[in-house]
Amino acid sequence: MISINRVPEQSCPECSRSISACSTFDSDDDPPRGGDLTLCIYCFTTLVYDSNLELHLIDVRTLNPKNISELKMLKAWFKECKKHDPL
C-alpha cells in the first residue's frame, strides 16, 4: 500500500522543482525522519532528509548495496509511471 506524507515545501537541490510530499511503499507509513532517503519525482535524484526534514544531495556510492538496489528499482518504477502520467 502506498501512503503519502506531507513534508515542508522546499526545492529539490538538483532541479529546483518544488517538493511538498513523499510516499512510502511498505507498511511503514510514518513520515520521513532524518537520514531517510527519497527520490525527486521530477529529476530522479537521490536525496536524504536531515533532522529538520530538509533535503540534501547524497553520494549514492556511500550507500550500502541493498539501498542502491532498492533505489534503482524505485527509479525504474518512477520513470515507467512518468511515461504514462507525465507531471
Could you tell me the pTM of the whole model?
Answer: 0.74
Q: What is the mean pLDDT of residues 45-73?
A: 87
Q: What is the DSSP string of 6-22?
A: EEEEEE-TTT--EEEEE
Residue 24 has a pLDDT of: 65
Q: What is the mean pLDDT of residues 41-60?
A: 90
Domain that holds residue 39: 3-84
41 and 7 in contact (C-beta within 8 Å)? no
60 and 72 in contact (C-beta within 8 Å)? no
For the chain, what is the domain count?
1
Query: Which residue, chain included where needed, has cell 510514518?
Result: 30
What single letter denotes the amino acid at residue 58?
I
Output the CA–CA distances (angstroms, integers) from residue 22 to 10, 53, 58, 62, 75, in the order listed: 12, 11, 17, 22, 14
